[in-house]
Amino acid sequence: MEQKTDLIIIGGGVIGSSIAYHLLNEGYQGDITIFEKDRLYEFASTPRSAGGIRQLFTTDINIQISRYSLKKYKTFPEDMTVDGERAEIDFQQRGYLFLAQKETMKELENQANLQRKYGVPSEILEADELKRIIPEVNSNDLTGGLYCGEDGYLDPYSVMQGYVKKAKELGAHYIYDEIYSIHEEAGRVTGVVTKDGMLYKAPKVINSAGPWAPIISKNSGYPIPVIPLKRQIIQFDAAEPLEKPLPLTVDPSGVYFRHEGDSFISGYSEKVKPGIDFTWKRSFFEETLWPILANRIPNFERAKIISGWAGMYSHNTKDQNAIIGEHPELSGYYMACGFSGHGMQQAPAVGQGLAELIMKGRYETIDLSPLRFERFAMNELVIEGAVV
Ligand SMILES: Cc1cc2nc3c(=O)[nH]c(=O)nc-3n(C[C@H](O)[C@H](O)[C@H](O)COP(=O)(O)OP(=O)(O)OC[C@H]3O[C@@H](n4cnc5c(N)ncnc54)[C@H](O)[C@@H]3O)c2cc1C
């Protein structure tokens, strides 16, 4: 029997499942089939994310995307209710804070001005004001910071499952199989080929396979500038609790930290060789994170590791931003990949945008065209100055 559907999504992580949900929520009438190779999402980027949600970006497009997504995460539990069960995502609007030294303050002020243009309540804080947010912070070497109290963090796994369950309720089919490549005839997508060589037909295919997206695209003859980069996160306890819940805080060194329940998580984008690698090391905490953490928050001096993990950034080597839209050389091939370290907070806007593009041929809510694939050839890169 010929396997046929109207639209295939490769990868059912937060991005693929958000797209499926948004299409169906917008009234898409065709059949949607999502191929997911990892039924338990053991290695997907989404559940391994730090879940940081911020509007503190430096490009118009990323600020607009985040602002829209933040609004959607606020109503997510109700919007994704299935069978009377709310989709709780533990969204803690405890703020997002970039700590800064003298040389970056001017730049942060420029960023805040741009963010405010879009309605983001960004605040520039002086060094002594930082203690209002984190009473224990050592601000001796700091000049201030950029803060947004509306931002915060959430549970990424629950967001993804919220989209999966709602998409299924609305009629999306998940097939737990691995895709090898996209199939085409005469410059048009005709389906996908599974790793066992089976052809599954569809006129439209969306590649949202996260860190594996470039492999599928390359197997199909359409390489994209995305590489997987390992990112470690360590969870730890501090000897003395902090007075207030932490915002997601980024030290000037790039080390970030936040509360995770009563404990803490911390990470840093260290220099690594590209490749899929899920090993994590205690020495990463002891040598890289702890010296920064202990200096910044004295309560972290006596820290005890609880656990750790590694996940993959889908790192866009050109400008560290997502690639969204139809491939200019293959009609019916859509991409939603290369999110680097900020895909969680872009999932609602990207889902909505791709649903509009596919159903109406244009973006209506937010113009996502600055993130089109063609920007690389046209040298219209979207350079984001606040990458974590
Ligand atoms: C350590 C870490 C911290 C992060 N922190 C943040 C943060 O604070 N804020 C933020 O916004 N973002 C953060 N991110 C980034 C964010 O997690 C990702 O951008 C986002 O989860 C990407 O979602 P995705 O659906 O594209 O990818 P994934 O979640 O990886 O989903 C892709 C899915 O595709 C499936 N798949 C792959 N290949 C195939 C195939 N051939 N056939 C079928 N299925 C396939 C995979 O199994 C996977 O489930 C972080 C990432 C990491 C690793």
16: Cβ below 6 Å to ligand 1? yes
267: Cβ below 6 Å to ligand 1? yes
- Cβ contacts of residue 182 below 8 Å, gap of 6+? 189, 191, 192, 193, 205, 207, 216, 217, 220, 222, 330, 333
CA of 341 to the centre of ligand 1 (A): 9
Mutate to test the pocket of ligand 1, among 10, 35, 46, 278 (most ligand atoms within 8 A of CB): 46
13: Cβ below 6 Å to ligand 1? yes
CA of 207 to the centre of ligand 1 (A): 12
Name the superfamily (CATH) of residues 96-152+227-316.
D-Amino Acid Oxidase, subunit A, domain 2 (3.30.9.10)
308: Cβ below 6 Å to ligand 1? no
Q: Give the domain 7-76+156-225+318-375 fold.
A: FAD/NAD(P)-binding domain (3.50.50)
CA of 109 to the centre of ligand 1 (A): 31
CATH 3.30.9.10 residue ranges in the chain?
Answer: 96-152+227-316
CATH 3.50.50.60 residue ranges in the chain?
Answer: 7-76+156-225+318-375
Q: Which atom of ligand 1 is nearest to the CA of 15?
A: 25
Q: Where are the beta strands (DSSP E) in the chain?
A: 7-10, 32-35, 52-53, 96-100, 122-126, 144-148, 152-153, 173-175, 179-185, 188-194, 199-201, 204-207, 226-238, 248-250, 256-260, 263-267, 303-316, 323-326, 333-337
d(C-alpha 279, C-alpha 281), whole Å = 7
333: Cβ below 6 Å to ligand 1? no
CA of 45 to the centre of ligand 1 (A): 3
Mutate to test the pocket of ligand 1, among 34, 35, 37, 45 (most ligand atoms within 8 A of CB): 45
Contact 292, 251 (CB under 8 A): yes
Mutate to test the pocket of ligand 1, among 62, 151, 200, 344 (most ligand atoms within 8 A of CB): 344
Q: Strand, helix or coil at 256?
A: strand
Map tokens 């970039």 to a residue: 98
Give the pLDDT of the chain (388 residues) as one tens digit per residue: 569 999 999 999 999 999 999 999 999 999 999 999 999 999 999 999 999 999 999 999 999 999 999 999 999 999 999 999 999 999 999 999 999 999 999 999 999 999 999 999 999 999 999 999 999 999 999 999 999 999 999 999 999 999 999 999 999 999 999 999 999 999 999 999 999 999 999 999 999 999 999 999 999 999 999 999 999 999 999 989 999 999 999 999 999 999 999 999 999 999 999 999 999 999 999 999 999 999 999 999 999 999 999 999 999 999 999 999 999 999 999 999 999 999 999 999 999 999 999 999 999 999 999 999 999 999 999 999 898 9
